[in-house]
Amino acid sequence: MAAHPPIGSAPALVRVDAEHAGQRLDNFLAAHFRKVPRARLYRSVRTGEVRVNKGRVRPDHRLCEGDLVRLPPLCAPSAAPAAVPGEGLARLLAASVLFEDEYLLVLDKPSGLAVHGGSGRSFGLIEAMRALRPHAGALELVHRLDRETSGCLVLAKRRRALLSLHEALREGEVDKRYRTLLKGRWRGGGRRVDRPLRRVSGRTGERMVRLDAGGQEASTAFTPLCVSAHASFMEARPHTGRTHQIRVHACALEMPIAGDARYGDRAFNAQLREQGLQRLFLHASSLRFIHPVSGESLQVRAPLPPALAAVLAAIGLETRESTP
């Protein structure tokens, strides 16, 4: 796409390339004018400021390669300057890159950093990366991790990569593995939890997820890695991608995740805080999928954070992942 028309300039004509063929007009505009409210974009389509091949179309119109889109000189409402990540966060994210090529960027997301801004946060990981990589293409989140969850997170630099990986996720073709610490002693080998989930609102309006026979299908496989009398270090492999899935399925086993303030056990969390746990013990340790362009199998791993490894050592769950 062409560069954003300067403020006060004449409308620009942008020719749709193969990368954006098939995209809805409203999403095309949102990617072009990132800071302009959606309501303003819809109004520009409705009033004819935006046209495709000189004609008026609906916001859900699908673009074709070669279409000419007329873009008016829209600008974001005057407000506080865009937030810029501080030097500390910039260094942290630069050191968190696990894989990068022309199409993808895989990061080891730090715990405590939301993947996107909102709810009082001026920016999240995706906004920070766009600010730090202004020439890296149209960076988009391929999937999400909870704010307190760390580990492998994929960003797409090209729309074709984004769409291909979204389809792979829907078809269950992305192998995601997590490391987590559960309350209690795990007995036996691996076990799979198949319990549907439904999103609800908590008492104070926060997002919650409950087991519900009428909810969305959800499946998680748990495999023990190292077990003690009071806690179990586990691998969790979600076969679906529901919100808070691993956390709620762990509770379904009556073995909540350590450090989970929303669904966990308060007494267990307090015991683990004394051993140094200051966060949710959930880490996206690896991803394996077919590269959307090269067709090659790609596996990316994120080592267990030192703070989590130290907790395992403190409670006597020594593993190869908890030693330097």
Catalytic sites, residue numbers: 146
Q: With the C-alpha atoms ordered 284, 288, 291, 292, is the resulting torsion angle positive or negative?
A: negative
Distance CA 63, CA 71 (A): 14
- Written as six digits, the tokens of 140 are 């988009």
DSSP-derived secondary structure for 93-132: HHTTEEEE-SSEEEEEEPTT--SS-BTTBS--HHHHHHHH
Of 280, 278, 298, 301, the closest CA to residue 290 belongs to 298
Of 12, 106, 121, the closest CA to residue 68 belongs to 12
Q: What is the CA radius of gyration of the chain?
A: 22
